[in-house]
Amino acid sequence: MGFGHIYVDAPQDAVLAALDRHVVSKGFGRTEMTPALHPSKTKEIEETSLRLFWISPRLGRWTGIFEYRYYNNSARQRWGYTDEELSLALSRDLKAEAYRLEVVDQAGFWLYAHYLSGEEKDGLAYHDTPADRTTDPAHKRYALNRIIEREGFRNLGVGYENIPGTMVRPIEAIPQRPEGIEGLEEFAHRAYAVTSK
Q: How do residues 75-126 score in pLDDT, each as one tens digit?
A: 666 667 899 999 999 999 999 999 999 998 777 899 999 999 999 999 999 9
Q: How do residues 17-65 score in pLDDT, each as one tens digit?
A: 999 999 999 999 999 999 999 999 999 999 999 999 999 999 999 999 9
Q: What are phi and psi of 115, to 5 degrees?
A: -115, 150
Q: How do residues 153-162 score in pLDDT, each as one tens digit?
A: 999 989 999 9
Cα–Cα distance measured from residue 100 to residue 134, given in angstroms and rounded to the nearest whole number? 25
| pLDDT given for residue 197 in this prediction | 56
Where does residue 51 rank: exposed (0-12), middle (13-18), buried (19+ CB within 10 A)?
A: buried
Expressed in angstroms, the distance from the first to the final Cα of the chain is 34
**Starting at the edge strand that comes first in sequence, how are the strands of the sheet with 28-30 ordered?**
28-30, 188-194, 50-59, 62-67, 2-8, 97-104, 109-116, 119-127
1 confidence band (pLDDT: 50, 70, 90) = low
Among 42, 103, 117, 48, which residue's Cα sits nearest to residue 78? 48
The residues spanned by each domain of the chain are 2-194
Whether 130 and 108 have beta carbons less than 8 Å apart is answered as: yes
pTM of the model: 0.94
Q: What does DSSP say about strands 2-8 and 62-67: parallel, antiparallel, or unpaired? A: antiparallel
| pLDDT given for residue 76 in this prediction | 63
| pLDDT given for residue 196 in this prediction | 65
135 confidence band (pLDDT: 50, 70, 90) = confident
Among 151, 109, 159, which residue's Cα sits nearest to residue 129? 109
Cα–Cα distance measured from residue 96 to residue 47, given in angstroms and rounded to the nearest whole number? 26
Cα–Cα distance measured from residue 8 to residue 165, given in angstroms and rounded to the nearest whole number? 22
137 confidence band (pLDDT: 50, 70, 90) = confident
